[in-house]
Structure 1
Amino acid sequence: MIAPRFRPWFVSLVLTVGLNAWGQAPAPSPPKPVAVEQLQKAWSAVVQVNARAIEGAPSAATLGKIRRGSGVVIGPDDLILTIAYLVTETEQLNIRTQDQKTYPARVVASDSATGLALLRPLYPLTAVAPVALGQASLSDVGQTFAVASGEAGDTMSPARLMDVRNFTGYWEYHLDTALYASPPIGNHSGAGLFNTQGELVGIGSLLMQDIMPASDPRSLPGNMFVPTELLGPYLQDMLATGSSPKSNRPWLGINAVERSGRIQITRVTPRSPADLAGLTAGAFVLSLDGEPLSSLALFYKKVWAKPLGPGVFELTVQERGETRQLQLEIRDRNQTIQKPAGI
Structure 2
Amino acid sequence: MKKILSLVLVSALGGVLTLGSYKLFLEPKHDVALSSTNSTPSFLPTSNVSNLLATNEAPDFTVAAENAVNAVVHVKNVSISTGQMTIQDLFSGRSPKRAQMGTGSGVIINANGYIITNNHVINNSDELSVTLNNNKTYKAEIVGSDPKTDIALLKIEPDEDLPYVTFADSDQAKIGEWVLAVGNPFNLTSTVTAGIISAKARDLSGTSSQSFIQTDAAVNPGNSGGALVNTKGELVGINTAISSQTGSYIGYSFAVPSNIARRVIEDIMEYGNVQNGILGISGGSLNSAFAEKLGINDTEGIYVDSVVEDSGAEKAGIEKGDIIKEIDNIKVSKFADLTGHIGSKRVGDIVNLIISKDGALKTLAVTLTRNETYTMPLVGRIKNTKKQDLKKLKATNGVKIIELNEEYADYWKNNGVEEGAIITSINNTKINNVDDVKEALENKSSHEPLRIELINSNGEKERYNFR
Q: Same fold (TM over 0.5)?
A: yes
Mapping for residues 74-113 of structure 1, pairs under 5 Å: 74-113=109-148
Of the candidates 233, 246, 267, which is equivalent to residue 198 of structure 1?
Answer: 233
Offset of residue 233 of structure 1: 3.7
Contact 1:110 1:118 in 2 (8 A): yes
Whether 1:207 aligns to 2:242 is: yes
Offset of residue 143 of structure 1: 2.0
Of the candidates 399, 402, 406, which is equivalent to residue 316 of structure 1?
Answer: 406
Offset of residue 66 of structure 1: 4.0
Contact 1:188 1:223 in 2 (8 A): no
Contact 1:51 1:92 in 2 (8 A): yes
Offset of residue 159 of structure 1: 1.8
Distance 2:65 2:437 in 1: 38
TM-score (structure 1 length as normaliser): 0.57
CA 159–126 in structure 1, closer or farther in 2 if over 3 Å, else same: farther
Matched residue, 1:52: 78
Cα deviation per residue 1:5-30 (whole Å; 9 max; x = unaligned)? Answer: xxxxxxxxxxxxxxxxxxxxxxx9x9
Distance 2:335 2:412 in 1: 19
Whether 1:161 aligns to 2:191 is: no
Matched residue, 1:13: none
Mapping for residues 152-301 of structure 1, pairs under 5 Å: 152-169=188-205, 174-175=209-210, 177-186=211-220, 187-209=222-244, 221-246=251-276
Contact 1:134 1:201 in 2 (8 A): yes
Whether 1:146 aligns to 2:180 is: yes
Aligned residue for 1:229, secondary structure, equals: helix
Distance 2:57 2:151 in 1: 29
Offset of residue 31 of structure 1: 6.0
CA 50–242 in structure 1, closer or farther in 2 if over 3 Å, else same: farther
Aligned residue for 1:238, secondary structure, equals: helix
Matched residue, 1:134: 168
Tell me how large the CA RMSD over aligned residues is: 4.4
CA 154–235 in structure 1, closer or farther in 2 if over 3 Å, else same: closer
Distance 2:442 2:161 in 1: 35
Offset of residue 324 of structure 1: 6.5
CA 296–141 in structure 1, closer or farther in 2 if over 3 Å, else same: closer
Offset of residue 39 of structure 1: 2.7
Matched residue, 2:104: 69
Of the candidates 151, 155, 162, which is equivalent to residue 116 of structure 1?
Answer: 151
Offset of residue 232 of structure 1: 3.6
Unpaired segments of 5 or more residues in structure 2? 1-53, 83-98, 279-333, 339-370, 376-380, 386-397, 418-422, 427-433, 444-467
Offset of residue 87 of structure 1: 1.9
Q: What residue identity is the alignment partner of 2:205?
A: G
Distance 1:191 1:54 in 2: 25
Offset of residue 163 of structure 1: 0.4
Of the candidates 27, 51, 68, which is equivalent to residue 42 of structure 1?
Answer: 68
The structure, 1 or 2, with the larger RCO (C-alpha pairs under 8 Å, 6+ apart) is 1
CA 48–324 in structure 1, closer or farther in 2 if over 3 Å, else same: farther
Offset of residue 236 of structure 1: 3.4
Contact 1:68 1:86 in 2 (8 A): yes
Distance 2:183 2:146 in 1: 21
Distance 1:325 1:50 in 2: 49
| Count of aligned pairs | 243
Structure holding more helix per residue: 2
Q: Percent identity?
A: 20
CA 35–158 in structure 1, closer or farther in 2 if over 3 Å, else same: closer
Unpaired segments of 5 or more residues in structure 1? 1-27, 57-63, 211-219, 249-294, 339-343
Contact 1:52 1:92 in 2 (8 A): yes
Contact 1:315 1:325 in 2 (8 A): no
Q: What residue identity is the alignment partner of 2:146?
A: D
CA 222–80 in structure 1, closer or farther in 2 if over 3 Å, else same: same
Offset of residue 35 of structure 1: 5.9
Distance 1:245 1:77 in 2: 24
Q: What residue identity is the alignment partner of 1:195?
A: N
Cα deviation per residue 1:249-274 (whole Å; 9 max; x = unaligned)? Answer: xxxxxxxxxxxxxxxxxxxxxxxxxx
CA 93–189 in structure 1, closer or farther in 2 if over 3 Å, else same: same
Distance 1:188 1:152 in 2: 10
CA 51–197 in structure 1, closer or farther in 2 if over 3 Å, else same: same
Distance 1:88 1:241 in 2: 21
